């Protein structure tokens, strides 16, 4: 009896992520959702620049690699060209909330019928741990060696709250993957974000509060604890916008 197996939508290759990194969990959740909805054959994914840059090698569906921050624009083009396909982006915080903020906000306000998986781990991982737009006040990074000083570096951007203030987007939810309960919740949210697209309901973004033990300088367990103690209080979990149940939508 098979009790656990790799989702079909995930390629049978070793992932390059660091030990304890939660990208692997989120990749799996996305692939499970694709499997369960039977959309692998119609899915087209957009990989970001960041740690998930090589996501195109990990998902079994058709994939494109976008320039830094441009994934929502690339996804817009694909969806406009292929409305019958299921189009998703997978982006980190630097990609989505810093260099790509304009593309993010405008895809949301147009209510593009796409699905965005947004990994918020409060740091630039691939380039070696620089301050991200979502780094917490006081957080020590390579480019905020004395801690993020909000007087000079500003405050973290709460992406879900920000996007929820727009009339456009259909569904915005923040989840986390630091414990079993939260992982299950995240799975539900990600699946719903794909279902929304299948039903033509428009823009769905799932912000996943994640960990980066390597660049946070912690063990994987310490990192998960830090998510619980520091990240989630600053980035409360929950549904921030849901137009999908509204009449006539």
Partner 1 sequence: MSEKVLMKGNEAIAEAAIRAGCRHYFGYPITPQTELAAYMAKRMPKIGGCFLQAESEIAAINMVYGVASTGLRVMTSSSSPGVSLKQEGISYIAGADLPALIVNVQRGGPGLGGIQPSQSDYFQATKGGGHGDYHLIVLAPASVQEMADLTAKCFELADKYRMPSMLLADGTMGQMMEPVLLPEESDVTVEKPWALTGTKMQRGHNIVNSLYLKPEELEKTNFDRFERYKQVEENEVMYEEFMMDDAEVCVVAFGIAARVSKNAVVEARKQGIKAGLLRPITLWPFPSAAVKQAAEHCKGFVSVELSMGQMIEDIKLASDCKCPVELCNRAGGMIPSPEQVLESIKNIAGGKA
Give the residues lining the site for partner 1 (CB under 8 A): 11, 40-44, 46, 53-54, 56-57, 59-67, 70, 73-82, 85, 102-103, 105-106
Pairing between strand 86-92 and 43-47? parallel
Question: Nearest distance from residue 50's CB to partner 1, in Å?
Answer: 12
- Is 142 in contact with 114 (CB distance < 8 Å)? no
Question: Nearest distance from residue 228's CB to partner 1, in Å?
Answer: 34
Q: What are phi and psi of 62, to 5 degrees?
A: -60, 140
Closer to partner 1 by Cβ: residue 73 or 208:
73
- Beta-bridge mates of residue 150: none
Question: Nearest distance from residue 206's CB to partner 1, in Å?
Answer: 21
CA distance 93 to 243: 24
Question: Nearest distance from residue 117's CB to partner 1, in Å?
Answer: 17
DSSP string for 159-213: HHHHHHTSSS-SEEEEEE-SSHHHHHHHHHHHHHHHHHHHTT---EEEEEE---H
Of 191, 134, 167, nearest to 243 by C-alpha is: 167
Closer to partner 1 by Cβ: residue 100 or 213:
100
Question: Nearest distance from residue 135's CB to partner 1, in Å?
Answer: 24
Question: Nearest distance from residue 247's CB to partner 1, in Å?
Answer: 27
Q: What are phi and psi of 52, to 5 degrees?
A: -90, 20
CA dihedral sign, ordered 107, 109, 112, 118: positive
Closer to partner 1 by Cβ: residue 67 or 150:
67
Closer to partner 1 by Cβ: residue 10 or 175:
10
Closer to partner 1 by Cβ: residue 6 or 82:
82
Closer to partner 1 by Cβ: residue 45 or 156:
45
- Beta-bridge mates of residue 69: none
CA distance 158 to 113: 22
């Amino acid at each position: 009896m098979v009790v656990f197996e790799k989702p079909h939508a995930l390629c049978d290759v070793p992932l390059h992520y660091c030990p304890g990194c939660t990208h692997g969990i989120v990749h799996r959740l996305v692939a499970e959702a694709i499997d369960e909805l039977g959309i692998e054959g119609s899915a087209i994914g957009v990989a970001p620049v960041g740690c998930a840059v090589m996501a195109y090698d990990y998902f079994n569906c058709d994939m494109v690699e976008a320039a830094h921050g441009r994934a929502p624009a690339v996804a817009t083009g694909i969806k406009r060209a292929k409305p019958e396909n299921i189009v998703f982006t997978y982006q980190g915080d630097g990609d989505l909330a810093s260099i790509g903020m304009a593309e993010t906000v405008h895809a949301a306000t147009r209510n593009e019928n796409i699905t965005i998986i947004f990994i918020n781990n409060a740091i630039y991982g691939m380039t070696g741990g620089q301050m991200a737009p979502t780094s917490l006040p006081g957080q020590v990074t390579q480019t905020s060696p004395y801690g993020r000083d909000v007087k000079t570096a500003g405050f973290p951007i709460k992406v879900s709250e920000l996007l929820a203030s727009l009339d456009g987007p259909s569904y915005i939810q923040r989840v986390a993957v630091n414990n079993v309960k939260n992982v299950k919740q995240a799975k539900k949210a990600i699946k719903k974000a794909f279902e929304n697209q299948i039903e033509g309901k428009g823009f769905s973004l799932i912000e996943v509060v994640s960990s980066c033990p390597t660049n946070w300088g912690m063990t994987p367990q310490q990192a998960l604890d830090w998510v619980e103690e520091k990240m989630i209080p600053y980035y409360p979990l929950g549904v921030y916008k849901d137009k999908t149940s509204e009449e006539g939508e």
